[in-house]
Amino acid sequence: MIATARTILRKDLLVELRTKESVPAMTLFTITVYVLFHFGLDRDSLDGELAAGVLWVTLLLAAVIGVSRLFAAEREQGGIDGLRLAPVDLTALFVAKAAALFVFLTAVELVAVPAFGLLLLGPGLGGAFPELLVVLLLANLGIGALGALVAALAAETRAHELIVPLLLLPLLVPLLIACAQATEPLMRQDAGPEDLGRWLSLLTLYDVVFVLLSVAVFDYLLED
Amino acid sequence: MAAIELERLERRYGERVALGGVSLRLDEGQTLAVLGGNGAGKTTLLRVLAGLLRPHGGSARVLGASLPGERWKLPAQVGYVGHEPLLYRELSGRENLRYHAELHGVPYSSLDPLLNRIGLANRADEPVRDLSKGLVQRLAIARAVLHDPQLLLLDEPRANLDPSAAELVEPLIGRSSGRTRVLVSHDVQGALEESDVALGLRAGLPAPVDSELYR
């Protein structure tokens, strides 16, 4: 199963490298929103709750773009039939899609987080960067698992671009709360990882629940 | 030995019966021609036999696997050429075949000979989106046979192929391939000449293969 997932992931990354459809769009969207906040809030810098909220809501909305495009090649070019005609466990498709979304989000954040710091963040991340990195990686894992599940659910529907945000965003609320709460103390003048363990535990639990749920139901989603 | 046994097979889309009352037996090595007008249920039948669609009634056994319960037994033994080539446009022909070879556990070493056989060795590294429909169809045929399947399900496999290309793929998908085949074609005479059994379909139901079939 892992070898099959690796094959599908390699194909997905190659297709993204050639088409440049997801990551550039997600990155451009994120930076544009940060610029809009920069001028819209008419403040030189944000900190604390507001900074954490702006950072995470923007990243989650960017994730919607990635999730909407996650099964595009499969939907438009018969990739799901191709997989169902091969002797493979379709759970490998979930693993590959979740991993692809994880990679896309990480690539976006490599640009978006420094841009956020430059455009909006008052105190700067400074010494809190390792903590923020852990929050980002756990968030990416959760978004990857849930995103792959939602993208598969929407893949065979006509209104997939409508269904993705309607399904995805409400289910991301617990993740948003945990990410924002974990990040808020890191973005204050007196930055410190208050209650970080508690929120990281919630994020980990969220990730585990959606990974297990997705593995359990993914095959059935792609059945006729 | 029977490769395909269907007994009153039925498939619906919502309330509409796309396929109903189809019964037949096809022995190993034989060819079944499926004939009928547009919307007659030919593609639905192929997709049910490939395990891509679940039958809603009757019984279907394909290469000993009872559908839909034993669908998982089919992919290693079935090659499918449908309306869609099942190839990624942004990848080259070689990359597409490597992808499918990995999914089927087929060694890469078999790909170059296969590309030679379909006459695409020189253009195998071009993106599929840059190839003509005929060349894409050759690649789709190569994809369908790269794991050496026992049963070929072919939906208009020679569409877009010029006569020389049709000759090139003949050893892969023609009667000389020695494989059991289900062939959907609008070339009635040609399909009947290369088949052992013929099934006519009209509005999803079995119909005599005669001049009335396409009316």
Q: Tell me the per-residue pLDDT of B135-156, one tens digit each, with 9 for 90 and over.
A: 999 999 999 999 999 999 999 9
Opening angle at CA B38, ends B170 and B44, nearest 5 = 75
Distance from CA of A111 to the nearest CA of B (A): 26
Give residue A76's pLDDT: 83
Q: Which of B77, B99, B154 to mutate to test the interface with A (most CBs of A within 10 A)?
A: B99
Q: pTM to 2 decimals?
A: 0.90
**Chain B CB contacts of A15 below 8 Å:** 88, 90-91
Q: What span, in angstroms and rounded, lies between the C-alpha atoms of A47 and A121? A: 6
Q: What span, in angstroms and rounded, lies between the C-alpha atoms of B194 and B185? A: 11
How much is the average pLDDT of B129-139? 95
The answer to whether residue B212 is domain-embedded is: no
Give residue A192's pLDDT: 62
pLDDT tens string A127-150: 778 888 999 999 999 999 999 999
How many domains does chain B contain in total? 1
Residue from A52, A58, A32 nearest A132 by CA: A52
Q: What span, in angstroms and rounded, lies between the C-alpha atoms of B98 and A56? A: 39
Evaluate whether B198 touches B35 at the Cβ level (below 8 Å): yes
Give residue A213's pLDDT: 93
Predicted confidence band of residue A161 (pLDDT cuts 50, 70, 90): confident
Predicted confidence band of residue A191 (pLDDT cuts 50, 70, 90): low
Q: What span, in angstroms and rounded, lies between the C-alpha atoms of A25 and A84? A: 30
For A83, the enclosing helix (H) or strand (E) is: helix A79-84
Q: Does residue B212 surpass a pLDDT of 80?
A: no
Task: For chain B, give the mean pLDDT.
Answer: 92
Give residue B31's pLDDT: 95
Q: Among all residues of chain A, which has the CA nearest to that of B105?
A: A87
Give residue B32's pLDDT: 95
How much is the average pLDDT of A82-106? 94
Evaluate whether B71 touches B65 at the Cβ level (below 8 Å): yes
Give residue B22's pLDDT: 92
C-alpha dist (Å) from residue B104 to A158, B20, B63, B127: 30, 33, 18, 22
Predicted confidence band of residue A74 (pLDDT cuts 50, 70, 90): confident
**How many of the other CB atoms lie within 10 Å of CB of B12?**
15
Q: Among all residues of chain B, which has the CA nearest to that of A79?
A: B86
Q: Which of B88, B136, B151 to mutate to test the interface with A (most CBs of A within 10 A)?
A: B88
Give residue A97's pLDDT: 95
Residue from B151, B168, B180, B148 nearest B28 by CA: B180
Q: Which of A9, A71, A75, A85 to mutate to test the interface with B (most CBs of B within 10 A)?
A: A85
pLDDT tens string B59-81: 999 999 998 888 888 888 999 99
Query: Across the interface, which of B75, B88, B143 has its CB nearest the CB of A15?
Result: B88
Q: Does residue A219 surpass a pLDDT of 90?
A: no
Q: What span, in angstroms and rounded, lies between the C-alpha atoms of A147 and A167? A: 10
How many domains does chain A contain in total? 1
Q: Does residue A126 surpass a pLDDT of 70?
A: no
Dig out the tokens for A100 from the structure.
């692809």
Domain containing residue A180: 2-221
CATH number at residue B89: 3.40.50.300
Q: Do A223 and B54 touch (CB under 8 A)?
A: yes
The position carrying tokens 């939907």 is A75
Q: What span, in angstroms and rounded, lies between the C-alpha atoms of B203 and B210? A: 15
Query: B19: buried, middle or exposed (CB in 10 Å: 19+, 13-18, 0-12)?
Result: buried
pLDDT tens string A30-59: 999 999 998 888 877 888 889 899 999 999
The answer to whether residue B214 is domain-embedded is: no
Q: What span, in angstroms and rounded, lies between the C-alpha atoms of A37 and A50? A: 11
**Chain B CB contacts of A3 below 8 Å:** 102
Domain containing residue B82: 2-207
**Chain A CB contacts of B76 below 8 Å:** 87
Q: Does residue A27 surpass a pLDDT of 90?
A: yes
Evaluate whether B139 touches B97 at the Cβ level (below 8 Å): yes
Q: Do A83 and B95 touch (CB under 8 A)?
A: no
Q: Do A81 and B86 touch (CB under 8 A)?
A: yes
Q: Which residues contact B190 (CB under 8 A, 6 or more apart)?
A: none
Please report, rounded to a whole number, the percentage of residues in chain B having pLDDT higher than 70: 100
Cα A19–chain centre separation: 20
Dig out the tokens for B56 from the structure.
């809603």
Predicted confidence band of residue B215 (pLDDT cuts 50, 70, 90): confident
Give residue A166's pLDDT: 94
| DSSP letter for each residue of chain B | -EEEEEEEEEEEETTEEEEEEEEEEEETT-EEEEE--TTSSHHHHHHHHTTSS---EEEEEETTEEETTTGGGSTTTEEEE-SS----TTSBHHHHHHHHHHHHT--GGGHHHHHHHTT-GGGTTSBGGGS-HHHHHHHHHHHHHTT--SEEEEESTTTT--HHHHHHHHHHHSGGG--EEEEE-S-HHHHHHT-SEEEEEETTEEE-SSTTTT-
pLDDT tens string B69-126: 888 888 889 999 999 999 999 999 999 999 999 999 999 999 999 999 999 999 999 9
Evaluate whether B21 touches B185 at the Cβ level (below 8 Å): no
Q: Do A88 and B99 touch (CB under 8 A)?
A: no
**Chain A CB contacts of B88 below 8 Å:** 11, 15, 73, 77, 79
Query: Across the interface, which of A18, A86, A224 has its CB nearest the CB of B90?
Result: A18
Evaluate whether A89 touches A7 at the Cβ level (below 8 Å): no
Q: Do B88 and A86 touch (CB under 8 A)?
A: no
Q: Do A11 and B50 touch (CB under 8 A)?
A: no
